[in-house]
Structure 1
């Protein structure tokens, strides 16, 4: 399931023709990347990464994680761990052994699914607002101020983001941020 579809983007902008479909699709794709940069994966997909460390918990780079597909040793002769022997705390992206033992002898190659299914309506609305903001900056008054007044009336810069991401989008996404991983 996508964070935002082309049909939803067109509905948000009150566009009924196909004239801007290619351009709008580029915006939709960029919105996925930006929002996922803030809150982690939204669109469910498979990730493969090397996981290293010792101790009772290993952390995946992307959360929320939905399921582990495989967890295999990178080095020949390393300990093999069946995913049935592992517990995944998906919200944090943490992997623990069910037997309580510590991880030793890695690194491991983890293959897993991460994202959010279904996509929260709040995340979808955040994507719509971001799209509306970006579209308005491109077309401004020529598009009838889609969604309100000009940028400077309602959006103050946030350190590091400027006006690319309005405060209202960041505020809506705040509850979906995951904590920092433990290496």
Structure 2
């Protein structure tokens, strides 16, 4: 599943020919990384994380969210305890995991999970389309000969913290409902 296809980008840009397909595909392939930096994984993938619960922890907070499912929570050192996933409770949006029996996690643990979204909201796709459009316009001269993006709705007069000028505010506004909680990567 792709966040954005070449056909999506061409439709957004009203491009009918295949002359620029190779260049446009570079833009299409780059927007997923930018959007996932802001809202977390979109395309489902397996993720492995290490968590140190040496002193004991009631909750593990996974670093990648949203989380589709937990695959395993295993000790990384011999003699450690495994935690069967059917004995765990997962908050998919925040990535918090705790034991059903309210016990503690202990030891150095390896957590394997599936992160991403099974059916991303169309708003995320629209944001990706608009980001491609913004980036494409910054590289293409406008019909009047002016630099594309200057003075239009895509120009950025202030850098956006963490994103600079590459992501216009309108894209971030579309993604705001999906933004990661503070401290989650």
Q: Matched residues in 1 for 2:96 and 2:135: separation? A: 35
1:143 CA drift (Å): 9.7
Whether contact under 8 Å (1:85, 1:98) holds in the other structure is yes
> Partner of 1:98 in structure 2?
100
> Taking structure 1 as reference, are residues 151 and 76 closer, same or farther at Cα in structure 2, changes over 3 Å only?
farther
TM-score, L = length of structure 2: 0.88
Higher helix share: 1
Q: Give how far 1:178 is off.
A: 2.0
- Distance in 1, matches of 2:143 and 2:112, equals 48
Tell me whether 1:46 sits opposite 2:46 in the alignment. yes
Match of 1:162 in 2: 164
Output one character per residue of 1:92-149: Cα deviation in whole Å (capped at 9) or x when no partner: 0111111111112x2111111111120111111100000000000011315999xxx7
Please, what TM-score do these two structures have when normalized by structure 1? 0.89
Distance 1:13 1:23 in 2: 13
Partners of 1:110 and 1:151 in 2: how far apart? 47
Alpha carbons of 1:144 and 1:70: their partners in 2 closer, same or farther (altered >3 Å)? farther
Query: Partner residue of 1:119?
Result: 120
CA RMSD of aligned residues (A): 2.0
User: Is contact 1:156–1:166 with CA below 8 Å preserved after alignment?
Assistant: no
DSSP 3-state at the match of 2:141:
helix
Q: Which consecutive residues of structure 2, in runs of 5 or more, have no partner in the other structure?
A: none
Is this contact kept in 2: 1:67–1:114, CA < 8 A? yes
Write the distance in 2 (CA, Å) between the matches of 1:126 and 1:156. Answer: 20
SS in 1 for 2:57: coil
Contact 1:27–1:131 (Cα < 8 Å) also in 2: yes
Q: Is the 8 A contact 1:156 1:167 kept in 2?
A: no
- Residues of 2 paired with 1:52 and 1:144: CA distance? 58
Give the paired residue count.
Answer: 178
Aligned to 2:139: 138
Match of 1:73 in 2: 75
Residues 89 and 160 of structure 1, relative CA distance in 2, 3 Å threshold: closer
Check 1:143–1:127 CA distance in 2 against 1; reply closer, same or farther (3 A cut): farther
| Native 8 Å contact 1:130 1:169 kept in 2 | yes
Deviation of residue 88 (structure 1)?
A: 1.0
Unaligned runs of 5+ in 1: none
Q: Which runs of 4+ in 1 moved over 4 A?
A: 142-145
